[in-house]
Structure 1
Amino acid sequence: MLKEIYIVRHGYRNDWEHPGSLSPTGLPHDPSLYTIGVQQAEETAQILKEKPIQAIFSSPFYRCLQTAKPTANALGMNINVEYGIG
């Protein structure tokens, strides 16, 4: 029985600090995380690794996958890319 859903927004985006910066994917509006955003993702993983998480879903946007990756690594789980999110 599902009891809790954790919803996490992506971390601080690189283009918020450096407007017009190039995306690692080459796609417009698909920036990576800024240094602070990477730290936010790591801190989120430290909190969520203690939770009984059964699955991780993410938007395919690069910054979202970057945000989910530390949690997935901490839990030894894969990220399920869901194109309907975003």
Structure 2
Amino acid sequence: MGSSGNQVVENQRAVSYQNVVVMRHGERFDNFEPSWAATAARPWDPPLAKAGRERAFKMGRMLRQSLGFPIRRVFVSPFLRCIQTAVELVASLSAVDDGHGAVANDGVSVDPYQVKSYNI
């Protein structure tokens, strides 16, 4: 029995999973202020509207509470609105305590050991 038991263990492979969460950037400023593009230095690259920042922060909080696994990496497009969305999301995911009253990362303490930046 010892050899057949070992054979079963030897034939079993460790199974690992990788979860991927995909999300879109928050609401763009130019959707709320169409004349913005006429005077913008980078009209193709609008920032987030305040509502977009707040929604991204709330999404991070919701993901942190409901996913059941930590988010270890965030990959983001170089567009400003995408970077701003990621900033809010990461701030919410790595907040020490957002007091549940915070709606954006202004004044939220972030654990610096949970955030790494890669200049790729």
Q: Please indicate the TM-score interval, normalised by the length of the shorter structure.
A: 0.7 to 0.9
The answer as to 2:36 corresponding to 1:21 is: yes
Query: Quick one: structure 1 residues 46 and 70, their matched pair in 2 at CA, closer, same or farther if it must change by over 3 Å?
Result: same
Higher Cα Rg: structure 1 or 2?
2
Partner residue in 2 for 1:57: 75
Calculate percent identity across the aligned residue pairs: 30
Shift of 1:81: 6.7
The answer as to 2:77 corresponding to 1:77 is: no
Equivalent of residue 84 in structure 2, options 57, 66, 70:
66
Unaligned residue ranges in structure 2 (runs of 5+): 1-15, 95-113
Superposition RMSD in Å: 2.3
More strand by share: 1
Shift of 1:79: 5.2
Unaligned residue ranges in structure 1 (runs of 5+): none
Distance 1:68 1:19 in 2: 24
- State how many pairs are aligned: 80
Please tell me the residue identity of whatever aligns with 1:66.
Answer: Q
Distance 1:36 1:9 in 2: 14
After TM superposition, the score normalised by the length of structure 1 is 0.75
Partner residue in 2 for 1:12: 27
Which stretch shifts more, 73-82 or 4-13? Answer: 73-82
After TM superposition, the score normalised by the length of structure 2 is 0.56
Please tell me the residue identity of whatever aligns with 2:87.
Answer: K
Partner residue in 1 for 2:45: 30
The answer as to 2:62 corresponding to 1:47 is: yes
Shift of 1:28: 2.2
Query: Quick one: structure 1 residues 71 and 62, their matched pair in 2 at CA, closer, same or farther if it must change by over 3 Å?
Result: same
